[in-house]
Amino acid sequence: MKKRYLLIFLILLSALSLFVGVSSISPADLLSGRTDEVEVFLVSRLPRLVAILLAGAGMSIAGLIMQSLSRNKFVSPTTAGTMDATRLGILVSMIIFVEASTMEKLLVAFAFAMAGTFLFMQILDRIKFKDAVFIPLVGLMLGNVLSSVTTFFAYKANLIQNMSSWLQGDFSLIMKGRYELLYISVPVIILAYLFANRFTVAGMGEEFSKNLGMSYRSIVNIGLILTSLVTVTVILTVGMIPFLGLIVPNIVSLFKGDHLQRTLPHTAILGAIFLLVCDILGRVIIFPYEISISLMVGVIGSAIFLYMLLRRKGYE
């Protein structure tokens, strides 16, 4: 899995994504300066592409960090309750802080995402039977509990339809002025790369980390903060995208191993490619209509997740 081949494939897919859609746009239209086509390109197509790239890279890296810190290949924001805790935080901000701005919702959802992720890690520390499949099942159960609480209060506040539609992963509504929150993931990715070696050491266990003079808890906390921040920004901007942070790091680790500093660039690029492929397929399968990205990633991702479960002996 050569990085330069992945980059070439990413560039080709990005170019294809810019010219796939209901509005017919060609490079000749842009070069000729046709007003309508240029406006659609700058207001819709280009922001959508940037959002896909940032969301795909960010969620994949978040999954990679969680898998390293938990020492389990089946842990991700989807299977650790992080997404469901974020969803609960967004609901709380909508009920209590009715006039809350996007940044205020981000802070509330971030606090809940952090709490949910830390709760999962605490449960993980207390589990003695650390089977590769059992641990993510615990995370899924925790996520279902949080999701049930969210659904209950959403029904009570008559917000169930609002929550369901708003948190459905979808790039069709991404336009200029509605995706810039995702730029938060850029410094997060940079920090993840800077701390990659420390995350790798922390993934070897608390005793090993302490023997090397490293603060294990501090590194774990930094990793969970970065993971929660990326998850919240993606959900607030795009909606729920399941399984992305689960399957991409596993695919990369098959070819590149588990050293984060070496695998992180490949994970970011492959995550963006995977999300681009799903988005393009969602736009062309029932053209001129569109399948939401959460449905496309959910179907493809769940199939790959099931395959990894059946091949669990190779991942333990």
User: DSSP characters for 133-158?
Assistant: THHHHHHHHHHHHHHHHHHHHHHHTT
Over residues 91-117, the mean pLDDT reads 83
Alpha-carbon distance 148 to 295, whole Å? 20
Closest CA to 1 of 314, 199, 249: 249
pTM for this one?
0.85
Domains and CATH numbers, the chain: 3-314 (1.10.3470.10)
How does residue 315 score in pLDDT terms, banded at 50, 70 and 90?
very low
C-beta separation of 244 from 171 below 8 A:
no
Asked whether residue 268 carries a pLDDT value surpassing 70, the answer given is yes
What does the pLDDT read at residue 275?
92
Q: Which amino acid is at 143?
A: G
Q: What is the pLDDT of residues 164-188, one digit of tens each?
A: 766 777 887 788 877 888 888 888 8
Return mean pLDDT, the chain.
82
